Each structure stands twice: as C-alpha cells, then as structure tokens.
Structure 1
C-alpha cells in the first residue's frame, strides 16, 4: 500500500471535522480523512464499512463512533489479513493506546456515547459540536500514531521548527 510520507496532523483533524459538518457521521469522517490525507490507494468502500458505528454503534449509544472509526483506521495500516499473522498484536496495542488516550482527552473519562452525550439533547447543536470536536481529536490522534509508527513526517512540526 502506498502511503503519503508527509502529513499534517492538524489538517487530518480539521478535515474530519469538516466531513462531519458536511454530512458524514463521526466514524465515516475519521476513516475518510485518514484515507484522503495519507493518500491511501484503497477503495472508497472502506468509508462505507464505518457507516454502522455512529452514535455508539447503530445509535445504540455504546462505544463512541469516532473511536470505532479510529480503530478501523489503525487497522488499515496495522491490521492483518491472514490468520496467524502476529502483527495483530501491534494493532491491538495501538488500538488500546487510542482507547486509553481518548478516555482521558475527552475530559469525561468515558468511551460510551451515552455518557459522553448525557447532558445534551441529541438533536441540539451543542451535542453535534461536541461530536465534531471528538471526531477531530480522534482523527488527529490516529494520524499521530500512524506517523510515529511508520516514521513519517508530521508537517505541522516543520511549520514550527
């Protein structure tokens, strides 16, 4: 798989937020932003695979859809396609890193959509804005992990060097 060698983490996050605002849900926006910013030569259908995860998996309000999309995106890079391939261990480690990081980063010590959104009316703008923010956070963190693990370049760092 071809991968772009220099990526802006802040652009990945911003694009994910804009994709959410434009009509994708959280999980779709994360996967789409990662796919496009890393210029992955994989079909668009990968985004469709993320379509069942929004609002805590099919609106069940369980696991945050942004995190689900982030785990899917990590799997694109680090997941396995053959039984017995031990690289699955790295993917599990990185997925747990994302999980643990988001639990702290969201300020609510949770990954359950029901808990993350309990103070909001699900139809209200404040709910959507929080989810847009979480989507950007997760997409950015996934980009950071991929850049770190594959020894790529975060162009944001170059801007401030």
Structure 2
C-alpha cells in the first residue's frame, strides 16, 4: 500500500519550522481496522510528515481526485456559512459541517452538545482555538466510526497533525494569541474567526478523506448545498432556541 507525501517537516537547530515539498512515496501496510491501511504506520514516518491544507502548498494535490477536492471545498464553505450567518459558533460549525456532510451519525442536538463547550476558545477562556477543537472532534468522530478502540493511536496522531498544521499556518493555536491584533475590532475579529473556521474544516476534511476515501461516496449533498443568508440564519437560530 502506498501513500504520496506532499510535505516534510524539517526541524533544524535554532531554526523555525520549514516545509519542503516531496514526491517521496512510503510503502507500508497496516492491519488494524477496515481503513487503517490507507496510510503507513505513523512510527514509520517518525511524526515529521504532515498533510497540509490547500492554503499551505501551491502545488497540485496529486493524491486527491477532482471529486474529493470539490467535496473538501464544499465542507469548508458550509462551515463558513454556518458561522457567518451566526447559526453556530466556531467549533459547532466545523463539527456540524463534517458530521452532516460526511454522515457522521450525530443528530443536530448531539453535535451541538458535543461541540458547544469547546466553542469560543473553551467558553471564552482564551485557550485552544474553537475551530481547531472542532477539527479534532470531527476527525475523531469519523475516523473512529468503525473499530474505535483499534484506531485510538491513529486518531491521536491525526490530532497532532491538525494541531501542527494549524499552528504552522497561523502561528499559534491559542485564541488569545490569534486574536490579539483584532480583539478590539469586532468586525475584524468576526472575519478572522470565520476564516479560521473554514480553514479548520478544510484541514479536517482533507485528513479524514485521505484516510477514509470511501466517505466520498456517502456525502449528504442536500446539507452541503444549503446556504443561508444572515437573516435566514438568525431565524433558524431563534427556532432552535425556542423549539429545540
């Protein structure tokens, strides 16, 4: 079984993170669960290889076909729409887009109950960015759907990959650091969070689909195609508040 590696992390003494494009192919096999063999064991990679989001590399993503790329973009845009229309907060929007878009199995109420405590940097504590929390939660939901106890190590590694890719792209994962320059500008702060929500959803979708490519065939097109206006989103939020 082979996997194409598009970026390699090259740490050096006294140096910042450097990313190098690579056409290397690592060949390995896995034996745990129905889809673990889509990627080599992480011990082989020595935790230095990460799959980056579209915004981090300007080369074509050769290991994805056109339908997968289009799907990743739709998940990203749906998460952004859920956030920008104020239906959901950052974590909730990422989890909802991933869960409903790829049929993760949670109801609206269950997805919100799971994601809400992580939103707005864990209840406005200023800690971990809620968008990144949503990416981690939703990746675990989808990668752990089948044989979750057998996938624990792989899911932890994906969590690390998401953390490191997000930090490499944005310079931090802490909300108070990310929002320092826009904290006193509500509009700029909102736009920043919208962008981070979309980016985190894209990162999560890319990693999940690389490891579970069969999910491309079970997409909830009706959900991903929806787009609400700000007014429509406000009405839906009111309906949820009063009628659950």
TM-score class, shorter: 0.7 to 0.9
Report how many aligned residue pairs link the two structures: 147
Segments of 4+ moved more than 6 angstroms? 80-83
Bigger RCO of structures 1 and 2 (CA < 8 A, at least 6 apart): 1
Deviations 1:47-97 (A, max 9, x none): 2210111221010010000011111101102248999x2421000000100
Tell me what 1:101 maps to: 165
Tell me what 1:35 maps to: 99
TM-score where L is the length of structure 1: 0.82
In 2, are the aligned partners of 1:80 and 1:87 still within 8 Å (CA)? no
Q: Secondary structure at the match of 1:121?
A: coil
If you compute each CA radius of gyration, which structure gives the higher value, 1 or 2? 2
The correspondence for 2:79, drawn from 13, 16, 35, is 16
TM-score where L is the length of structure 2: 0.56
Deviations 1:97-155 (A, max 9, x none): 0000000112xx2100000000113561000101100000000111111110012449x
Distance 2:212 2:146 in 1: 19
Tell me what 1:112 maps to: 174
In 2, are the aligned partners of 1:61 and 1:112 still within 8 Å (CA)? yes
Distance 1:143 1:98 in 2: 11
Tell me what 1:91 maps to: 155
- Unaligned residue ranges in structure 1 (runs of 5+): 155-161
- What root-mean-square deviation, in Å, do the aligned CA atoms of Structure 1 and Structure 2 show? 2.3
